[in-house]
Chains A and B, each alone.
Chain A
Amino acid sequence: MVGIVIVSHSAKVAEGIRELALQMAAPNQQILAAGGMADQSIGTDAMLIKDAIVAANSGDGVVVMVDLGSAVLSAELAIEMLEDQALLVKIADAPILEGTIAATVEASVGRSLSQVVATAEGARDMHKQS
């Protein structure tokens, strides 16, 4: 099953999105929050993200959901720093909350990494009012 890592500048935001996503998740699905800095301040930490990617991987790869600016840079750096360069990992170009929920559902039914990423990115076109 594809793992999911949620990267926000705020640890609370990442944890809150994880909480919502878990409501839709399969029992053994790996969804990890990697938000904020070790000292609880606002920001992103590539080392923390790297560890979360490794922990989220159960062999089918990992999709990384990001919020703004440095979240993307830190996620890219985290991927570059992975010891196992064969680990499949992709950053989804998607809204972090809706994208994570969509990715969770898609991953929970055993879809491939590229299908999970495409579904997360499709969340960009979700409308709240018709």
Chain B
Amino acid sequence: MANVIRAIEALADVIIANKEKLTELDAAIGDADHGINMARGFEAVKAKLKTAQPDDIGAVLKLVGMTLISTVGGASGPLYGTAFLRAAAIAQGKTTVDGPMAGQMLAAAITGIKERGKAVQGEKTMLDALEPAYNAFQYGLSMNKTMAECLELAVNAAQDGVEYTKTIIATKGRASYLGERSLGHQDAGATSSYLILAALTQLAKKQSQAGEP
């Protein structure tokens, strides 16, 4: 449980630290609020985690999802909010996470984002980072790799996904107004998804080096 709360704090910190960068990316082809919105949401998450005493991982993720829904404001609020709520449903009553369960949580989160955003891979969105990450994670599991190794595969795939968003035209969100002018720019949502996975990976590596599960 303490691990999960630490993981949420770690991903909140990385989003807050990248507030300017995410806002700059969004300024190029969107409405210049992604970093500000996400940082405001995760500041609120950190504040709530300080006082809440969740019983299980499901409760932690539900708190994250509900907080993002009412504090982020842009499309990333309902999208990430839905993702965390769907992952929370998988983690209900659980106090530890293993590889297969992490895979299920990621799959549920991605399905939630697709349903909420009516989006698929290849539209210059967070899905372009998350879907390859999920596939790489599942590949790692099938090769009996550790959670930290699976996450490392996932984060590398997500990074490639972010690069890929530079080569495609946005058809969703505010960037879709720009059409071909969105080419050459990386998507801010895909970048924040990558950053979240990178924070989780870094923490998992540290924990596996320290001998924690």
The A-contacting residues of B in range 61-78, CB under 8 angstroms, are 66, 69-78
Least Cβ–Cβ distance between B43 and chain A, in angstroms: 11
Binding stretch for chain B, among A38-46, A84-92, A107-115, A122-130: A38-46
Which residues of B pack against A, CB within 8 Å? 33, 37, 40, 66, 69-79, 81-82, 116-117, 173-174
Q: CB within 8 A of B75: which of A38, A42, A70? A: A70
| A44 and B73 form a contact (CB under 8 A) | yes
| Closest A residue by C-beta to B173 | A69
Given A69-B174, A73-B116, A73-B117, A42-B73 contact (CB < 8 Å) = yes
**A-B CB contact pairs (8 Å), 16 listed:** A39-B71, A43-B74, A43-B77, A45-B77, A46-B69, A46-B70, A46-B81, A47-B69, A47-B70, A48-B70, A70-B73, A73-B78, A74-B77, A76-B78, A76-B116, A77-B69
| A37 and B78 form a contact (CB under 8 A) | no
Q: CB within 8 A of A77: which of B37, B81, B173? A: B81
Provide the residues of chain A in CB contact with B33, threshold 8 Å: 42-43
A48 CA to B82 CA, complexed, in Å:
16
Q: CB within 8 A of B73: which of A43, A76, A77? A: A43
| A37 and B71 form a contact (CB under 8 A) | yes
| A69 and B69 form a contact (CB under 8 A) | no
Given A70-B78, A74-B78, A45-B73 contact (CB < 8 Å) = yes
